[in-house]
Amino acid sequence: MGVQVESVESEAARAVNAALTGSFVAGVCFVALTWTTTQAKSVRSASPWQTDPYDVVVSFTEFVVPAMLLLMALRMLLWRTGRHRSQPAFRAAQLVRAATATTGLVAVTVASDWIAVVVGANHAVWTKPTTPVLIGALAVLTAATAAGLMVQRKAVRQLLPDRSHDGDWLDDIEPLATRLWGGRAVVGPVCYRSITAFIRRHDIAVPAAAAMAAGTAIAGLQAHGEKWTDPTLVLFAVVVATSGFFGMAMLVNHLIVFIAPASPLNRKGRAVRAAVTAAALGIPAAVGVRATLFYLLGGVIGHTPSGLLLLVTGCGVIVGTLTFAVGMASARS
């Protein structure tokens, strides 16, 4: 198991527990607010952050944050059951990283919402008492997020040196599955090693496939709910959703080491990963500022579904190319 930390009752482990608690408090508050403001039409209609570019942020974090909370909750089953014995150091470090990343995603969304409030976005549809209540709830979420980041910063300091790259989350799947199945092995050790080795060899393809499945499902539900008939518009929604989820997955994986590469990355490998992540995140970012981009292009691209698709994919390619070039250049210096 590599380097161990003290039992879950040690001082460092208590800092880990505090970091996890802070993340769950902020995350649950976030889910309650965002799902209310996105799913309740009467509430959404009075929300300052109901339109892009603010809405494009929450369109992804409202799904990613609950998923992160679920993953942490599952891994915490191993963490809490080991309260009287030592734990792998990478498990503690990765849990803190996951807690920090989750709260960070909440913080990004909170910042976006506050910008909408400050600039008076959609002010014409603000109503009393709905809008003031939403702003008050945002203030509560802000306080919970700030508190979470503070305790997580303390946990990071107490876990130095960082051992998060000594293993990955896949290392805990077998013992977790055994625990969930009442102590019985779900698959044989050879099968488990084959599955995890395959995932590590395809650490870009696996998140891409998962993102494609999630993006297609979300876009399909949206197309059905809004009764879209234009296939190009549906394709546009699939591309944006898939790119956003894939970019988020790659970024989060870099931070919390859910899947470690099968072999150490060279300069080009690191640049490629940075480029595909930036390109994927650049596509939904372009959606958020599409009005400005259309204005700057001066009518070169039409305001049609095909024009939108061309605009956002073009931005993704440009962002990815620039990121790759910067990554290769910085590695040489």
Alpha-carbon distance 129 to 141, whole Å? 18
pTM for the predicted model, two decimal places = 0.88
Separation between Cα atoms, residue 231 and residue 279, nearest integer Å: 24
Q: Dihedral of CA 11/16/22/28: which sign?
A: negative
- Tell me what pLDDT residue 161 has: 64
Helix-strand-coil split of the chain, %, nearest 5: 75, 0, 20
Residues whose CB falls within 8 Å of the CB of residue 249, separated by 6 or more in sequence, listed in order: 207, 210, 211
DSSP output for 230-263: -HHHHHHHHHHHHHHHHHHHHHHHHHH-SS--SS
Identify the burial level of 205 via C-beta atoms within 10 angstroms of its C-beta, where 0-12 means exposed, 13-18 middle and 19 or more buried: exposed
Q: Which two tokens stand for residue 188?
A: 């044989």
Average pLDDT of each block of 10 consecutive residues along the chain (333 residues)? 56 88 97 93 93 92 95 89 70 92 97 97 94 97 97 85 81 84 74 91 95 96 91 95 96 92 89 96 95 88 91 96 92 65
pLDDT of residue 179: 81
pLDDT at 79: 85
| Angle of CA points 102, 103, 107, to nearest 5° | 120
pLDDT at 1: 44
Q: Are 93 and 169 in contact (CB under 8 A)?
A: no
User: Max alpha carbon distance in the chain (Å)?
Assistant: 66
pLDDT on residue 9: 57
